[in-house]
Structure 1
Amino acid sequence: MRLKFARLAPAGGGSTRQRIVRLALVGGVLVLALLLLLATCGGGKKDAAPPKKPVRKSTGPATQLTVPPAYTTRRGWELVDTSPDYALSRTTGRLAYLVRTAEGEYRLRTIDSETGRAGWSGDAWRPPAAMHFPRLLTVSTDDQEYFVTWSYGKVGENAPAPADRIVSLDVYTVEDGGRQRVEVPWATAPAVTATGPGIVIGDGGTTSVVVDPATGRITKVPAKALKYPKGCGSCKQFTEVRGLTSKGLLVSGVREFWVQGGWFSRNVAPRGADRQSGVPTSVAPGVLLAKWQLAKGSKLAATHDLWTVHDTETGKALVSVQCHKPAIAPGQYPQAVVSPSGGYLVAGNLAFDLEAGKGFCFEDTEGSRTLALASVTDSGTAYGATSVRNAADALAGGGFPVEADVSTGSTQMLSPNVRMPGAEAAEGVGLFRWSDDKDRLHLIGYPRAD
């Protein structure tokens, strides 16, 4: 260091005072550097506390939608590029969805709907015909739940139409993913439902088969086996198989309905209804929603209908509500949606508290049905939107979001950009759909806020 300082002296020498000043300045720099070094090292104190690391807070799923205040986006899970359908197990909390492989095959995967943790995954398979995604259902028997995927198409590429077309079912046990395939020859576009202890394939009329999910056994049900009620002329007009109960097939005619060999709507009509006017509009596991005309001569018979929820096992009327008749009959009635525990049901502008026996029709004073409810939770909160055609539009972000209390019949408007949950898992996780700019579907689980 002295050599370096010596070189700082001006050529030809300099005064002793100048050298002393310069050495003092350099010495000051060294002292300052040492002080900074000691400060950085904590001054040599071994008991100095280390700097605290910032605590990283969870930001939840990558996609942060605007959701109703009952849910939080700070926690949850997200699936990307999934099937439009998903299926929920009420006994295990598992959620099933389909993914498409690069080879054009499909695979069923599961997660825990509360945590998003991956569960079992099925083998990849190819449906009988090219399609966007096979459909998904959940079916329950007395002691088992099953996830079911189904698709429809030709057996081979060169198969003639309509011969050699099948409904292909893959049935998985919810607990471990055990799988069996069932193939049912079917010549026309099928309607596949799972409202009871089996899978029903129908043609929109009297032709149907029932598939046992446990054994894969196929039972054909001819029209003559539907056991039309005696004295019911309308039962043989526009006859349609609507679903399955533990007692038999649920069937409807142009005005009345019955369970094969079981109860008959005329004998279970709700109080105040025309007993020969019942029309089932929607069927869900364990319940059906029916529209009835009011009894002839009653005050509101010309302007109102009676909407009733029935128990499908007994036909018993559980709860009813009156609602204005539409100016124009709808081409399709809204699908009934039931809360996870089965205590609440909504359909379009109708809502029912099944345990309390309350029904509500949300309409304005002139009978305009502007509200479409799309989902309902175990707490009795329903979600939907006004100024939309149906529940699908509400879930897609259309109209003006609404939250309804099914226990009181009250409603409140939400922020215009709020997304509606399509369903809620039994663990209190709301399920939300969203499509990104690459047209990939996201399924997001946001839990209820603390």
Structure 2
Amino acid sequence: MGHWFSDSVRPSGTERTGELAPFNGLAYGVIDGHLFAGWQTPDKEDGTGADPVWSVHDLGTGRLQASMTCGYDLNNHINAGNYRSNREYGVVASPNGRYLAAGPVVFDLQRKKGICLAKSGDRKDIVIVSIRDDGTAYGAVQQDSTAEGTEPAAVQVDLNEGPNTAKVLGRGTIVPLVTNVKGAGRFLSRDDNGALHVSLRRER
């Protein structure tokens, strides 16, 4: 594996890092030979903050594979130039590697485009936890505040059609944490005594 520097592969809409300036990007996570990155962007003309740019790169070469602007805040991970090792959401991929996601930030590498599921208008943040090969994604609606003991609403999204296809599933629905190439899913749940149940279910 070679090496590369972020300034040589940064997506459009982001600024170069000066010699004395802090890095303007963050290596968010790695999966299946791809690097998930977030980049701070210049403030708008009125002084308000602009949404960050998110991108996917080939891990070995740094080659930019897709990028988009999405309102998932980088400040959750960057604090006055200090980079935390923990991440709010894990990076997940479909079994065939076409779709990648980190929370509400999703990429379709075949079409080389992003799908932003961050809060917009009346829509809440949608956090993706697993993706099928056909682009069906499962996750949860991230509420601003959740009453104690109340689980976030499960949701299904067709990534080929975009955010407007998000469909809240029935109360108590458990979404798969992992899907495989044959459509089966691995599920985790707890019984009334708190014991953890792991199950593998085939597609009907």
TM-score, L = length of structure 2 = 0.78
Q: Secondary structure at the residue paired with 1:329? A: helix
Name 2:31's counterpart in structure 1: 284
> % of aligned pairs identical?
31
Change (3 A) 1:330 1:315: same
Change (3 A) 1:403 1:325: closer
One-letter identity of the residue aligned with 1:317: L
Q: 1:297, 1:436 → 2: CA distance?
A: 50
Name 1:330's counterpart in structure 2: 76
Name 1:264's counterpart in structure 2: 5
8 Å CA contact 1:282, 1:334 repeated in 2: no
Deviations 1:34-88 (A, max 9, x none): xxxxxxxxxxxxxxxxxxxxxxxxxxxxxxxxxxxxxxxxxxxxxxxxxxxxxxx
Name 2:167's counterpart in structure 1: 412
Name 1:427's counterpart in structure 2: 182
1:305 CA displacement: 0.6
Equivalent residues in 2 for 1:80-91 (5 A)?
none
1:292 CA displacement: 0.8
Q: Secondary structure at the residue paired with 2:133? A: coil
Name 2:41's counterpart in structure 1: 294
Change (3 A) 1:447 1:330: same
Change (3 A) 1:399 1:296: closer
One-letter identity of the residue aligned with 1:269: R
8 Å CA contact 1:388, 1:398 repeated in 2: no
Deviations 1:373-413 (A, max 9, x none): 11111111111111358xxx9xxx82111101112213112
The answer to whether structure 1 residue 402 and structure 2 residue 148 are counterparts is: no
Q: 1:435, 1:268 → 2: CA distance?
A: 44
8 Å CA contact 2:127, 2:140 repeated in 1: yes
8 Å CA contact 2:92, 2:129 repeated in 1: yes
Aligned residues: 184
One-letter identity of the residue aligned with 2:158: D
Change (3 A) 1:369 1:292: farther
Bigger Rg, structure 1 or 2:
1
Structure 1: runs of 5 or more not aligned: 1-245, 248-261
Q: 2:13, 2:28 → 1: CA distance?
A: 19
1:432 CA displacement: 0.7
8 Å CA contact 2:103, 2:126 repeated in 1: yes
> Which of 171, 180, 201 does residue 446 from structure 1 map onto?
201
Q: 2:71, 2:123 → 1: CA distance?
A: 8
Change (3 A) 1:310 1:300: farther
1:368 CA displacement: 7.5
8 Å CA contact 2:41, 2:50 repeated in 1: no
Equivalent residues in 2 for 1:5-404 (5 A)?
246-247=1-2, 262-276=3-17, 277-294=24-41, 302-324=49-71, 326=73, 329-330=75-76, 332-366=87-121, 370-387=125-142, 398-404=151-157
Write 1 or 2 for the structure with the bigger share of helix: 1
1:296 CA displacement: 6.9
1:440 CA displacement: 3.0
Change (3 A) 1:357 1:299: farther
8 Å CA contact 1:289, 1:307 repeated in 2: yes
One-letter identity of the residue aligned with 1:406: L
Change (3 A) 1:282 1:300: farther
1:297 CA displacement: 7.0
1:345 CA displacement: 0.7
Q: 1:299, 1:356 → 2: CA distance?
A: 34
Change (3 A) 1:345 1:300: farther
Change (3 A) 1:270 1:321: same
RMSD of aligned Cα (Å) = 2.9
Q: 2:31, 2:48 → 1: CA distance?
A: 28
TM-score, L = length of structure 1 = 0.37
Structure 2: runs of 5 or more not aligned: 18-23, 78-86
Deviations 1:77-104 (A, max 9, x none): xxxxxxxxxxxxxxxxxxxxxxxxxxxx
1:342 CA displacement: 0.6
Deviations 1:170-193 (A, max 9, x none): xxxxxxxxxxxxxxxxxxxxxxxx
One-letter identity of the residue aligned with 2:176: P
Q: 1:300, 1:345 → 2: CA distance?
A: 32
Q: 1:355, 1:412 → 2: CA distance?
A: 24
1:295 CA displacement: 5.3
Q: 2:62, 2:11 → 1: CA distance?
A: 10
